[in-house]
Each structure stands twice: as C-alpha cells, then as structure tokens.
C-alpha cells in the first residue's frame, strides 16, 4: 500500500471545528468570491516538529476541503538564525507528509523591496519614525502592561528627516543596532505590541537568499501580515500567541492601505514528555544530547520519520486532536496509538528474539530443516505468506520461560506446553543451568508432530503461543529501543534553578542485539515490520549490507500506562 493511499478514503464523520465554521460562513457570504487560500509560513531556523505538522495538516487540509490552495512561505526575515539546511529539511518534511504546494513556494525575502516601500508609505504618512535609542533603552521605555511607556525623544522627527535617515540605514551608513524604524502608534496602549513597535533593524549579515543586498531587515511582525496580504491569503491561520499581535497587523494593513487577510488563531499543539520549541530542540542537537535533528527520540518530523512513523499516522493524529481555542497538552500515547493502528494494517510480521534463551527439541531430527508457512499479515490477506525455517535448536524470549511460574503464567515452564507460532506445540521437559550463576542456558523440550498445520491435531489448543527463531538461521541485528526523551510529562515547566535538560531520560535509548528470522535479509532502510509480540520496528538508515539496524517505533501495547501506575 502506498503511503498516501488510505487518505482519500478517510471521511471524518465529525462536526465542523471553529475554523471551518468561520470559513464556511465567509464562503456563504461570498467573501473573497468564495476563495479559500491558506499558507504554511515556517521560519527556517530549525527543523519542523509535530506541532508544525499539525499546522501543515490544518492549512493544507482546509484548502483541500474547500477546493482552495495553500502556499508554502518561508518567513525568512532574520539572517542570523536562518540556514539553507533548514529550508531544505522543511521542503522535504512537508512533501513527505503528503502535501503539495505546487508552484506556490515563496519567501518573505522575495518581498523585501515591497516591504521597504510599505515602510516608506508609513513614514510619509507620519506613521513611522527612525529612533536612535539603543535596544535596551527602547525596551526599558516600553513600560509594563500596567504602566504606560515613555515616548522616544526621536518620535517627532519630520517626515523628511525620517525618510533621509531610513534611506541612509538602507545604504549601510550605520552600524548594527545604531538606529531602528518604529511605528508611531501609542506608547500608552494597554497592548504592549502597539507601543511603537520596531519595524526595521540594521543587521550587517548576509542573508541566505538576498546575500548582501540588504543590511536592514524587517521585523517578523512587519513582514508576516504584509506577506499574507501580498499573497492574497484569505485565512491566515496561526497559533494563539499571535492573537495579541493581531491589532498591530490590522493597524499596519490599514495604514499602508492594502488587502486584509483574516487572521484566525488556534491553540498550539503541546505533547507530553517532550519539548517543542525550536530553540530547545536546537540545544539538544548542539549539545549532543541526541544524535541530530532526526534522532528517533526527537519530536521533529524527521525524527518521527526515522523512527518509522508513517505520514498517514501523523495526519490521522492531527485530525483526531482537532483544533482547540485553548492551550492544552496532548498525551504522547495518542500519537503512539495512531502509528500502531496504521502499522497493524500495513506492516508485515516477522519473528525475532531480543533476549534469547535456547530451546533444544530432543525428539526432532538433528539435521532436518522444515519451512513453516506464516501469514505476513493476518489483518491483510493480500500480504501473502512467507516461509520460516524450523530446526531442532531455536531461540525464544528468555522472559517467556519461568522455572517456577505463577498460576496465571501461560508461557513455557517445566512440564507445560505452548504453541510455537506457525509451528508445533512443544512441551518443556527439563532445563540446563550454568553451574555458577544458576542461569538457564538451555531448555530441553519435545514436540508433538501432529500439531503442525495440516496434521490431525493442528487445532489443538494450548494457552500460550510464543515467537521463536531457528538458532542456526537467526540473523543478528542491532536493535535500538526507545523510551520517552524526558522523565516528566512537562519538562518545559522546570523547577526553579533547573532547566528542561535536567529532566532528560538517561535510558531513552537502549542498544541491544536481536536475532531475527532470515526473511529480514531482504529488508531495506525505511521498511517497517511488526516483530511478533515485541512491537513495530523500522529499518534504520545506519544499516549496512552486513548489518541491519532496527528502531523500535512502539511496543505492541501501551506498556507506559502500566509502568506509570507502578512507579
């Protein structure tokens, strides 16, 4: 099945969310001639995370639903933090999620000239001025939400003087930080964003797209709304923290006199047991707490992809969580539920053992190799069958045997029978132990020939079914087992004197060996499997011809819920 195939069949039967209600009302009223045009506007200062995925699914999803279009626009107004690497990764991630911006790939930096013209309009109207106060003074004079700010001594410069200074700023006559352009609004406004916000600053740094053409750069707040306007976006969907910026965006659009998109805010996605701010994720990468932006423990799209998440599972997650007007935290186990549900239908089963103990079937011919037929995916008859070699010596999971089991233990124990998946029923006869440690080194069993598929007792029932691997055929692989990256649900909320990094989980990655059935030799990087009873796994790009490396995406069941109670 292709990654995107299931998507068209998904018809979410749910009521409209508040954004859809707004859009449908706009369409009904014939606003914008019924057009729906959204955009996803990342700043290329880091890799995208699952929160961005939510925003991508929302913007592209709404356009799809209302026969509209979506732009991808880089809000690249800060040359200091932005890099081409991030641009490339963002393009890859949006595409991988299954969305297509067609020819509509834009950059705020494409509009620098236009934005400059807008600033000139404001200056000419007496609505913007050049201020010579250093950044600290500007911020000190801004006041607090309860105390009004103080007007800049440069506020009453003439239009001519402002124009001349702004041109000289552009011409590179002043060093970084010497002057800024500010909007002339209201230093007593209860909304801090309206207290003469900075519109342009001087930064003598080369930009990844415009090179050295500019040494003044628009602030995000001056670029964002105007870029939406230039692109004739109908619905500018953004996260709640921009609600307080909206009066400023409206003011700018009105004073410049250009088309006004409608801004709608929704609550950003927060996920338990992780952090989501790009700044914090960058810290984890730079300080080597993880192996890179695509470390499978990261909440980045590239990390989730490498871990083995499918685009469908992430889109489905975004749909299930819906859009909220208030901040909330989504339990990461919901994301895990979505990948399990998807892979249950999609991933072929293989058998493998992570912590092996040897089984010797004493009454099985020493040199015989039988090819057992196993269903590739019982949930999907089209997935077919494969052959799994069965021999006298097998591995099973060490924890599937107990010498002295409690009553409710239905796996292997002395004198007890279990079925080996797709093979025989075996009975435990005796164990061999290490004379020093007393650890079990081999379990001697007998098998019942009549219990194989096609034999008279093939339907005989026993309580336990175990996965196994033929010892001489087992393929040794490196297995990476992941746990939560943080040990607390809300690492952002660090105690005083602590940082989010103090809550990193030291056991978030365990590297062990696994022994898999030989069909795994055909696996390629990116393939996903269910290892029977152990979980869903993906083949990591670190794999070589000689050695496979597999990531556990999730265990089969939400074992975390149980552990949490135990602690």
Q: What is the binding site for ligand ATP (CB under 6 A)? A: 41-43, 51-52, 54-55, 238-239, 268-269, 276-278
Of 274 and 551, the one with the shorter C-beta distance to ligand ATP is 274
Of 238 and 374, the one with the shorter C-beta distance to ligand ATP is 238
Q: Are strands 216-218 and 198-202 parallel, antiparallel or unpaired?
A: antiparallel
Of 54 and 392, the one with the shorter C-beta distance to ligand ATP is 54
For residue 410, give the DSSP letter: -
For residue 518, give the DSSP letter: G
Compute the least distance from the CB of residue 56 to ligand ATP, in Å: 8
Compute the least distance from the CB of residue 325 to ligand ATP, in Å: 13
Measured CA to CA, the distance from residue 136 to residue 133 in angstroms comes to 8
Measured CA to CA, the distance from residue 130 to residue 489 in angstroms comes to 46
Q: Which residues pair with 349 in a beta bridge?
A: 530
Of 321 and 553, the one with the shorter C-beta distance to ligand ATP is 321
Compute the least distance from the CB of residue 41 to ligand ATP, in Å: 5
Structure-derived torsion over alpha carbons of residues 511, 513, 517, 520, reported in degrees to the nearest 10: 50
* 29: annotated active-site residue: no
Compute the least distance from the CB of residue 529 to ligand ATP, in Å: 31
Exposed (0-12), middle (13-18) or buried (19+): which is 111, by Cβ within 10 Å?
buried
Compute the least distance from the CB of residue 44 to ligand ATP, in Å: 8
**Residue from 31, 268, 398, 501 carrying the catalytic annotation:** 268
* 268: annotated active-site residue: yes
Compute the least distance from the CB of residue 329 to ligand ATP, in Å: 11
Tell me the residue number closest to ligand ATP, measured at CB: 51
**Residue from 184, 201, 278, 297 carrying the catalytic annotation:** 278
Measured CA to CA, the distance from residue 188 to residue 451 in angstroms comes to 85
Of 442 and 494, the one with the shorter C-beta distance to ligand ATP is 494
Structure tokens at 305: 């992809």
- Write out the H or E segment, with its range, that includes residue 200: strand 198-202
Q: Which residues of 466-475 are buried (b: 16+ CB within 10 A; e: fewer)?
A: bbbbbbebbb
Q: Are 255 and 222 in contact (CB under 8 A)?
A: no
Cβ-Cβ contacts under 8 Å for 189 (sequence gap 6 or more): 195
For residue 525, give the DSSP letter: T
Q: Are strands 356-361 and 440-448 parallel, antiparallel or unpaired?
A: parallel
Of 299 and 352, the one with the shorter C-beta distance to ligand ATP is 299
* 209: annotated active-site residue: no
Measured CA to CA, the distance from residue 203 to residue 220 in angstroms comes to 14
Cβ-Cβ contacts under 8 Å for 419 (sequence gap 6 or more): 425, 426, 451, 462, 464, 465, 466
Compute the least distance from the CB of residue 49 to ligand ATP, in Å: 6
**Residue from 43, 231, 265, 397 carrying the catalytic annotation:** 43
Q: Are 89 and 262 in contact (CB under 8 A)?
A: no
Question: Cβ atoms within 10 A of the Cβ of 120, count?
Answer: 16
Question: What positions carry a catalytic annotation?
Answer: 43, 268, 278
């Amino acid at each position: 099945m292709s990654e995107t195939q299931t998507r068209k069949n998904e018809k979410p039967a749910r009521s409209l969310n508040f954004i859809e209600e707004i859009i449908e009302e706009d369409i009904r009223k014939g606003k914008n001639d019924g057009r729906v045009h959204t955009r996803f506007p990342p700043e290329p200062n880091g890799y995208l995370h699952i929160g961005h995925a939510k925003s991508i699914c929302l913007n592209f999803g709404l356009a799809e639903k209302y026969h509209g279009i979506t732009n991808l626009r880089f809000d690249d107004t800060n040359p200091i933090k932005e890099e081409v690497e991030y641009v490339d990764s963002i393009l890859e991630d949006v595409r991988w999620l299954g969305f297509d911006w067609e020819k509509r790939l834009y950059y705020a930096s494409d509009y620098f000239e236009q934005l400059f013209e807008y600033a000139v309009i404001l200056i000419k109207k007496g609505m913007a001025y050049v201020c010579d106060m250093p950044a600290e003074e500007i911020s000190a004079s801004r006041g607090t939400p309860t105390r009004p700010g103080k007007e800049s001594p440069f506020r009453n410069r003439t239009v001519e003087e402002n124009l001349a200074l702004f041109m000289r700023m552009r011409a590179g006559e002043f060093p970084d930080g010497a002057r800024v352009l500010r909007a002339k609004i209201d230093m007593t406004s209860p909304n801090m964003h309206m207290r003469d916000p900075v519109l342009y600053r001087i930064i003598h740094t080369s930009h990844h797209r415009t090179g050295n053409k500019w040494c003044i750069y628009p602030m995000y707040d001056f670029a964002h709304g105007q870029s939406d306007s230039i692109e004739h976006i109908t619905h500018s969907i953004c996260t709640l923290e921009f609600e307080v910026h909206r009066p400023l965006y409206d003011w700018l659009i009105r004073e410049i006199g250009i088309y006004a998109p409608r801004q709608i805010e929704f609550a950003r996605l927060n996920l338990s047991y992780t952090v989501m701010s790009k700044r914090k994720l960058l810290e984890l990468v730079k300080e080597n707490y993880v192996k890179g932006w695509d470390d499978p423990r990261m909440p980045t799209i590239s990390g989730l992809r490498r871990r083995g998440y499918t685009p469908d599972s992430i889109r489905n997650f975004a749909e299930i969580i819906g859009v909220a007007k208030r901040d909330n935290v989504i339990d990461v186990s919901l994301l895990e539920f979505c990948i399990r549900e998807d892979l249950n239908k999609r991933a072929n089963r293989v058998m493998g053992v992570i912590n092996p103990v040897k089984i010797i079937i004493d009454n099985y011919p020493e040199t015989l190799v039988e090819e057992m037929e196993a269903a590739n995916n019982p949930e999907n008859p089209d997935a077919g069958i494969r052959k799994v070699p069965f021999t006298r010596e097998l591995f099973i999971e060490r924890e599937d045997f107990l010498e002295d089991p409690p009553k409710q233990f239905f796996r292997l124990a002395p004198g007890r029978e279990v079925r080996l998946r797709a093979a025989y029923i075996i009975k435990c006869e005796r164990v061999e132990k290490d004379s020093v440690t007393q650890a079990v080194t081999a379990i001697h069993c007998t098998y019942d020939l009549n219990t194989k598929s096609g034999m008279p007792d093939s339907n005989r029932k026993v309580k336990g079914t175990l996965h196994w691997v033929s010892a001489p055929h087992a393929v040794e692989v490196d297995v990476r087992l992941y746990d939560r990256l943080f040990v607390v649900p809300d690492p952002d909320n660090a105690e005083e004197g602590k940082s989010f990094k103090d809550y990193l989980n030291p056991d978030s990655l365990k590297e062990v060996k696994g022994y898999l059935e030989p069909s795994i030799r055909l696996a390629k990087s990116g393939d996903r499997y269910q290892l029977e009873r152990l979980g869903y796994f993906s083949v990591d790009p670190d794999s070589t011809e000689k050695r496979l490396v597999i990531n556990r995406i999730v265990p089969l069941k939400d074992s975390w819920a149980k552990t949490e109670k135990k602690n």
